[in-house]
Amino acid sequence: MQTTLKHKKNLLVFALGNPARGDDALGPLLAKTIQWGYGVKLIVDYQLQLEHALELKNRELALCIDAATNIPAPFSFYPVAPDPALAHTTHALPPPALLQVAVNIGITPPPCFVLGVAGESFTLGEGLSEAAKDNLQQARRFLDKLQLRPYPNAWLQYSDAPLPPLPLTGTTDPYPNAWLQYSDALSASGKAEKANKTKKAKKAEAVG
């Protein structure tokens, strides 16, 4: 079953992983379950490279999908910011380093999030582990939720962590939309959502 991205958004998606290395195929396989619509650019590769920084130009939102270890199953989802402390080479780059490369060459990177799907086995020549198959399905359902509201301030409400501190280049904020998380409107929305969840939980306890 394929999920369709309903909103036309200037979104860049990196689906990362080696299909020949067991659960490392989670990123590309998950990307194949989405029917990416107009305004979305999908890049499938083994890993992030320096040249991928050029793809960030004029984008409004970016998403990196990759297999991950040492995270709670089934997946983790969190925002990342440029990190000048991370050294970069011609080899694989973590997302914060890629964003910093963009800043270094004069590109203002968009708000960027990482969807890490928990994997267990990365042996060459193997298929997905049973645990990874289940994590893949749960991550796909989570993408269903993201694709309904492909906007930075909406995604922040689903993330596991707040947006990290943002390095500024001159007077240019590399994440202009990220300040939305601090706005009164979003704070009120978050409080209301939390209050509704608490109310529903109490009602469920009373019924039980």
User: Which tokens in the block code for residue 124?
Assistant: 């060459």
Strand partners, 112: 62, 80
- Which residue would you say has higher pLDDT here, 204 or 18? 18
Mind listing the pLDDT tens digit for each residue in 146-161? Answer: 888 888 888 988 887 6
Q: Of how many residues is the chain composed?
A: 208
112-118 vs 61-68, strand pairing mode: parallel
Where exactly are the structural domains of the chain?
3-207
| CATH T-level fold of 3-207 | Rossmann fold (3.40.50)
Please check the confidence at residue 194 and state whether its pLDDT lies above 70.
no
The answer to whether residues 167 and 81 touch, using CB atoms and an 8 Å cutoff, is yes
Across the chain, mean pLDDT equals 79
- What whole-number distance in Å separates Cα of residue 146 and Cα of residue 150? 6
Distance between CA atoms of 186 and 180, rounded to whole angstroms? 7
Instruction: Give the residue from 80, 66, 48, 43 showing the smallest Cα distance to 159.
Output: 80
**Interior/surface letters 100-119, b for 16+ CB within 10 angstroms, e for the rest:** bbbbeeebbbbbbbbbbbbb
